């Protein structure tokens, strides 16, 4: 049986700001368990969960070589709507039959919106 990606961990010193960012801009719901220092962000729909874990001393935010990519059919529309909510994406890049744009979360992690998942192969 193949493994399925279920969770992605983001280490951050800005748990509340990052929680608000993903809930506001990408529709996640925050779940907290009493006594647990991890905040679980649950996707509405079939997406993977994001776990927000406190960053340990000595590590800097935004050093990971991972980018979270969110699938959206209309990248330009998503970027326009996000800007009205205070999230500015950079240039919309054209790729092989799809487009994408990048932004940063409050912990300086790169996030992207991409229409690649909707390209007919």
Encode pLDDT of 40-62 as tens digits.
999 988 888 999 988 877 777 76
Q: Could you tell me the fold of the domain covering 7-118?
A: 2,3-Dihydroxybiphenyl 1,2-Dioxygenase; domain 1 (3.10.180)
Of 101, 56, 45, residue with least CA distance to 77: 101
Q: Is 39 exposed, middle or buried (0-12, 13-18, 19+ CB in 10 A)?
A: buried
Confidence of residue 109 (pLDDT cuts 50, 70, 90): confident
Is-above-0.85 flag for pTM? no
The predicted model gives 86-112 an average pLDDT of 92
What are the tens digits of pLDDT across the range 33-42? 888 889 999 9
Sequence spans of domains, the chain: 7-118
- 78 or 121: which carries more pLDDT confidence? 78
């Amino acid at each position: 049986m193949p493994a399925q990606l279920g969770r992605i961990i983001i280490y951050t010193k800005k748990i509340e700001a990052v929680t608000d960012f993903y809930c506001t801009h990408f529709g996640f719901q925050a779940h907290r368990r009493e006594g647990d220092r991890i905040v679980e962000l649950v996707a509405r729909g079939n997406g993977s969960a994001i776990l927000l874990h406190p960053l340990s001393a000595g590590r800097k935010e935004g050093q990971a070589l991972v980018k979270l990519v969110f699938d959206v059919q209309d990248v330009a529309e998503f970027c326009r709507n996000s800007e009205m909510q205070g999230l500015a994406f950079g240039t919309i890049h054209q790729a092989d039959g799809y487009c994408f744009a990048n932004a940063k979360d409050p912990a300086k992690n790169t996030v992207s919106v991409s229409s690649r998942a909707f390209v007919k192969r």
